Amino acid sequence: MTFKDFKFHKDLLKGVRIAGFREPSPIQKMVIPIIEKGEDLVGQAHTGTGKTAAFGLPIMDKIAKDEIERALVITPTRELATQVSDELYHLGRFCGIRTITVYGGVGYGRQIALINKGVQVIVATPGRLKDLYKKGKIDSFNPEIIVLDEADEMLDMGFLEEIKEIFEYIPQNRQTLLFSATMPEPIKELANEILTNPQFVSVVGDDEGTVNNVIDQSYYVIEETQRDEAIVQLLETEETDKSIIFCRMRREVDRLTEHLKAMGFLAEGLHGDLDQMERERIVKGYRRGESKIMVATDVASRGLDVKNVTHVFNYHIPFDSQSYVHRIGRTGRAGKAGKAITLVSTNEFKELQRIQKEVGADMQLATIVLEGESESVDFSYLQTMVKEVSIVPEAIDFIDSMEEMDYHEFVERVVTLLIQQKRASINQLGFDEDTVNSMLESYENEQKVARKSNRKKKRH
C-alpha cells in the first residue's frame, strides 16, 4: 500500500513525497480511513509510530478539498506543540495550509493576530488555549476537527480539568480524535465524555507499537556510590548516537550534566526550572546534534520527540511503571532498534521486578568488566560500611560456629573477603547474578529481622 491509495489532494501528496514518506505505517493504515469518513476515534499508540501524520494528513486533505475550514490539535507541552506544528507545515505547505503554535510563556498579541488572519490549524497547549477561549480572544476560531495528542501525558501533568473546560467553548458538531500511549481509567472516562460513538484503534503490540520488540532492555545492579562511574563507563562503551539520561530530581540533572561536561561529553540538562527560551535552545541544539546527551527529568522530557535516539539511561529507576514506559519509548522508534539501560541498587531491585512484571518487559541483568587492574581500595568506605551495618542473629551464630579459629585471624579473614568484594566492584561494573542473589537474600533477611523486631516493640 502507498499514500496514493488514500486519494489525497495532489498538493498534499507532493508534500508527502518530498517528506520522504513511502509506505504508511500500521497506525496510518488503520486511522486515516476512519478520519476521512468523519468518525470520532480513540487511537492507542506510542510516540514514534507515525501518528502525527496519521491524523494530520486526513485533516489537511479535508482542508485542501474545502470539506472543513479549521482544525485544532491540543498537546501537553510546548516542545511537542512545536514539533507537531512543524510536521504539519512541511506536509501541507503546497496546499497553502497555514499553521500556528500557541503556548504560554510568550505574549498573547502576536498569537491572537495570526489566528485572526485566518490560520486553518492551531496546535496548542491546554493552559494558553483555555486562557484564550476564557478571555474571548479567539471566539471566531470554531474548529470542525479536534485532536487530543498524548492524552495520558496531559493526565500526568494535571491538565484534565483544563481539557474539559476547553471543550465547553468548542461547538458540539465536531469530529474528535484522542490519541494516547496508555489507557488509564480517567482517559477512558474523558473519551466517553467528549467523543461520540468512537472507533477504537490500537497498534500497541504491533512491531512498531510495543517497546519489547524494538528496544533491548538491560539493568546493572550497582552500589549507590557507583552511579556516576557507571554512567560514564556506559557512555564510553556503548555505541551511542543520541542518548537521554533520566534523573528523578532537577538538582541531579544539573550536577550530572556538569560532571559529564567536565568529562568531555557533549551534554545538556533539561528540567522545569529553565525558562522557555533556554529550553528551546537546548532542545533545538540536541535535535541538530550540537549536544549528544540530554540529561532530563520526567516532566521536562514529556512530549520530547527526537529522531535517532539510540539509548535511554535510567540514572535512577522511575517511580512507577508508566514512567518507565514513557522513558524508554524515547528510543526504538519507527521500527528502529534502541537500548534502554537502568541502574539499580540492591535496595531498589524489588521495585525493578515490580515494574518489569507490570509492563511485561524482558530486562536482562548485565555486567561490564572494566579495563585494567586496580589494587586500591577505599578503606574509609569499608570502615563506614562496617560501622553502619545492622547485626543480624545469623552473624552471631556464625561467629560462635568459628570458635576454634583465633579471633584476630577470623577478623582478618572477614576483612579480606570485604576487600576482595570491593576490588571486584572496582574492576567490574554491575554485580553478577550469583552476587545479586546473595545480596538480595541478605537484604531480605535484614528486612525479616527488622519486621520481627518491630512486632516485638509493638507488643511491648
CATH code of residue 148: 3.40.50.300
Mean pLDDT computed over every residue of the chain = 83
Highest mean predicted confidence (pLDDT) among 53-62, 71-80, 273-282, 356-365: 53-62
- Domain final residue pick, 342, 367, 392: 367
Q: How many Å apart are CA 27 and CA 55, to the nearest integer?
A: 10
Is the pLDDT at 58 greater than 80? The verdict is yes
Q: How many Å apart are CA 76 and CA 127, to the nearest integer?
A: 9
Residue 281 pLDDT class (50, 70, 90 cuts): confident
Same domain as 225, residue 160? no
Q: Does any domain span residue 96? A: yes
- pLDDT at site 140: 78
- pLDDT at site 164: 92
Same domain as 271, residue 333? yes
Give the CA distances from residue 399 to residues 86, 394, 404, 450, in Å, rounded to whole numbers and listed in that order: 70, 9, 10, 21
Same domain as 114, residue 78? yes
Q: What is the pLDDT of residues 82-124, one digit of tens each?
A: 889 988 998 998 999 999 999 887 888 888 888 888 899 999 9
Q: Does any domain span residue 442? A: yes
- pLDDT at site 8: 94
Same domain as 390, residue 361? no
Residue 400 identity: D
Q: Does any domain span residue 372? A: no
- pLDDT at site 212: 42
Q: Does any domain span residue 374? A: no
Q: What is the pLDDT of residues 138-152, one digit of tens each?
A: 877 889 999 999 898
Q: What is the pLDDT of residues 116-125, one digit of tens each?
A: 888 999 999 9
Same domain as 25, residue 147? yes
Same domain as 155, residue 122? yes
| Domain span at 281 | 211-367
Task: Tell the residue number behind the cell numbers 494558553, with chain if given.
Answer: 128
Task: Collect all residues with Cβ–Cβ distance below 8 Å to 339 and sequence separation of at least 6.
Answer: 215, 216, 217, 218, 238, 310, 311, 312, 331
Q: Does any domain span residue 373? A: no
**Domain count for the chain:** 3
Is the pLDDT at 301 greater than 70? The verdict is no
Same domain as 275, residue 305? yes
Residue 330 pLDDT class (50, 70, 90 cuts): confident
- Domain final residue pick, 319, 343, 367: 367
Is the pLDDT at 172 greater than 60? The verdict is yes
- pLDDT at site 424: 53
Q: What is the pLDDT of residues 410-454, one digit of tens each?
A: 888 888 877 666 555 556 677 777 777 776 676 667 667 767 776
Q: How many Å apart are CA 175 and CA 146, to the nearest integer?
A: 6
Same domain as 198, residue 71? yes
Residue 153 identity: E
- pLDDT at site 421: 60
Q: What is the pLDDT of residues 233-261, one digit of tens each?
A: 899 888 888 999 999 888 999 999 999 99
Of 345, 150, 362, 324, residue with least CA distance to 246: 324
- pLDDT at site 209: 37
Residue 69 pLDDT class (50, 70, 90 cuts): very high
- pLDDT at site 210: 38
Is the pLDDT at 170 greater than 60? The verdict is yes
Same domain as 189, residue 270? no
- Domain final residue pick, 144, 168, 202: 202
Q: Does any domain span residue 412? A: yes
- pLDDT at site 405: 80
Same domain as 96, residue 22? yes
Same domain as 343, residue 215? yes
Q: How many Å apart are CA 376 and CA 364, to the nearest integer?
A: 30
Same domain as 86, residue 130? yes
Q: How far is CA 299 from the centre of its chain?
A: 9
Mean pLDDT of 267-276: 85
Is the pLDDT at 292 greater than 90? The verdict is yes
